[in-house]
């Protein structure tokens, strides 16, 4: 099982094993449908808000009195995932058909195609065998996550100043800082734009990002370069989406 993020999950039921002319339409994300076999109903797929996202398979079965319990285990074998569902049945009580829901975490799936087989067994009252039997299956396509695009609206607290404090070996240095929000999964940094603009008094910086699953949602970005006082009157930060932030005042620390 890989660690790559999977964002869009598509799944479809194969033809029914006893009637190859009966097929089910393709579904996306958490839209569920009733499989032809009645024991396990696949309710759909969902993603946990984790980094990387983890895939959850949601299912249910019909029970007729209280006290039933569901348990599930997933086993990965390359591009095949086998899910083993156990329904434990208590002694009978008042009869009423009720859905009993369960879910199994399939983990963080590497983008690709998977065959998911759901095996079912019933233990306890009325059970005839402890063996699992294949009860349902689906094909799952996990597509790579689309990295978020950082826009100027997802940033704040920009400032720029020149440190011109005297000292032995001191060199006036321009510093630029800001904070990004909504940047989870991307590591951001500031670089000098190439080429610069037509006005040499306005410094152009470019915000660049690289994928990093450990990058936090909120992160500070910084830039520094040697620049005597008065070299730049203002600066502009260019964002990947084409937007920009203008810092019209560069203060001086002396």
Q: Given this model, what pLDDT does residue 32 score?
A: 31
Q: Is residue 224 part of a domain?
A: yes
Which structure tokens are listed for 168? 């032995």
Can you tell me whether residue 66 is helix, strand or coil?
coil
Q: Is residue 1 part of a domain?
A: no
Q: What is the DSSP letter of 163?
A: E
Check whether residue 165 and residue 248 sit in a common domain.
Answer: yes
Domain boundary among 107, 126, 144: 144
Domain boundary among 118, 144, 170: 144
Q: Given this model, what pLDDT does residue 128 score?
A: 76
Per the omega criterion (within 30 degrees of 0), is the bond before 52 cis? Answer: yes
Calpha distance 46→7 (Å, rounded) = 10
Check whether residue 170 and residue 133 sit in a common domain.
Answer: no
Domain boundary among 144, 170, 205: 144
Check whether residue 48 and residue 111 sit in a common domain.
Answer: yes
- Residue ranges for the chain with pLDDT beneath 50: 1-7, 14-38
Q: What torsion, rounded to 10 degrees, do the Cα atoms 78, 82, 83, 84 define?
A: -140
Which structure tokens are listed for 231? 């070299």
Q: Which residues of 197-210 are buried (b: 16+ CB within 10 A; e: fewer)?
A: eeeeebbbbbbbbe
pLDDT in tens, 1-34: 333 344 455 555 544 444 333 333 333 332 332 3
Check whether residue 93 and residue 185 sit in a common domain.
Answer: no
* Residue 178: closest CA among 99, 239, 100: 239
Residue 132, domain extent? 6-144
Q: Given this model, what pLDDT does residue 246 score?
A: 96
Check whether residue 14 and residue 114 sit in a common domain.
Answer: yes
Which structure tokens are listed for 199? 């006005």
Check whether residue 50 and residue 94 sit in a common domain.
Answer: yes
Q: Given this model, what pLDDT does residue 50 score?
A: 66
- Rounded to 5°, the CA angle 183-184-186 comes to 70
Structural domains of the chain, count: 2
Q: Given this model, what pLDDT does residue 203 score?
A: 95
Q: Given this model, what pLDDT does residue 236 score?
A: 96
User: Structure pTM?
Assistant: 0.49
Residue pair 240/209 in contact by the 8 Å Cβ criterion: yes
Calpha distance 79→82 (Å, rounded) = 10
Can you tell me whether residue 152 is helix, strand or coil?
helix
Q: What is the DSSP string of 210-230?
A: EE-TT--SSEEEEEEEE--TT
For 24, 32, 181, 207, the CA distances from 29, given in Å and listed in that order, are: 15, 9, 27, 33
Check whether residue 135 and residue 183 sit in a common domain.
Answer: no
Q: Given this model, what pLDDT does residue 9 score?
A: 54
Q: Is residue 90 part of a domain?
A: yes
- What is the distance in angstroms between the CA of the first residue and the CA of the last residue of the chain? 56
Check whether residue 10 and residue 42 sit in a common domain.
Answer: yes
pLDDT in tens, 43-61: 777 777 666 778 888 888 8
Check whether residue 14 and residue 108 sit in a common domain.
Answer: yes
Q: Is residue 189 part of a domain?
A: yes
- Rounded to 5°, the CA angle 217-152-227 comes to 100
Calpha distance 213→52 (Å, rounded) = 7
* Residue 83: closest CA among 92, 91, 73: 73
* Residue 117: closest CA among 176, 73, 154: 73
Check whether residue 183 and residue 245 sit in a common domain.
Answer: yes
Check whether residue 123 and residue 181 sit in a common domain.
Answer: no
Check whether residue 13 and residue 138 sit in a common domain.
Answer: yes
């Amino acid at each position: 099982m890989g660690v790559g993020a999977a964002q869009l999950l598509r799944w479809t039921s194969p033809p029914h094993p006893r009637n190859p002319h009966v097929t089910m339409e393709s579904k996306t994300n958490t839209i569920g449908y009733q499989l032809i076999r009645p024991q396990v109903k696949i309710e759909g797929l969902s993603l946990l808000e984790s980094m990387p996202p983890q895939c959850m398979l949601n299912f249910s079965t019909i029970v007729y009195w209280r006290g039933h319990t569901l348990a599930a285990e997933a086993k990965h074998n390359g591009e095949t995932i086998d899910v083993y569902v156990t329904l434990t049945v208590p002694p009978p009580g008042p009869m009423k058909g009720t859905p009993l829901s369960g879910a199994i975490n399939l983990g963080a799936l590497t983008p690709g195609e998977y065959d998911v087989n759901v095996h079912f067994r019933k233990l306890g009252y009325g059970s005839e065998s402890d063996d699992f039997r294949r009860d349902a299956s689906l094909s799952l396509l996990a597509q790579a996550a689309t990295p978020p695009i950082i826009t100027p609206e997802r940033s704040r607290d920009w400032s720029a100043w020149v440190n011109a404090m005297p000292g032995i070996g001191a060199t006036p240095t321009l510093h630029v800082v800001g904070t990004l929000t909504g940047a989870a999964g991307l590591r951001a940094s500031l670089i000098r734009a190439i080429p610069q603009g037509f006005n040499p008094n306005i410094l152009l910086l470019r915000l660049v990002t690289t994928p990093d699953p450990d990058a936090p949602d909120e992160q500070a970005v910084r830039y520094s370069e040697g620049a005597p006082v008065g070299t730049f009157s203002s600066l502009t930060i260019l964002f990947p989406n084409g937007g920009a932030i203008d810092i019209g005042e560069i203060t001086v620390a002396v």
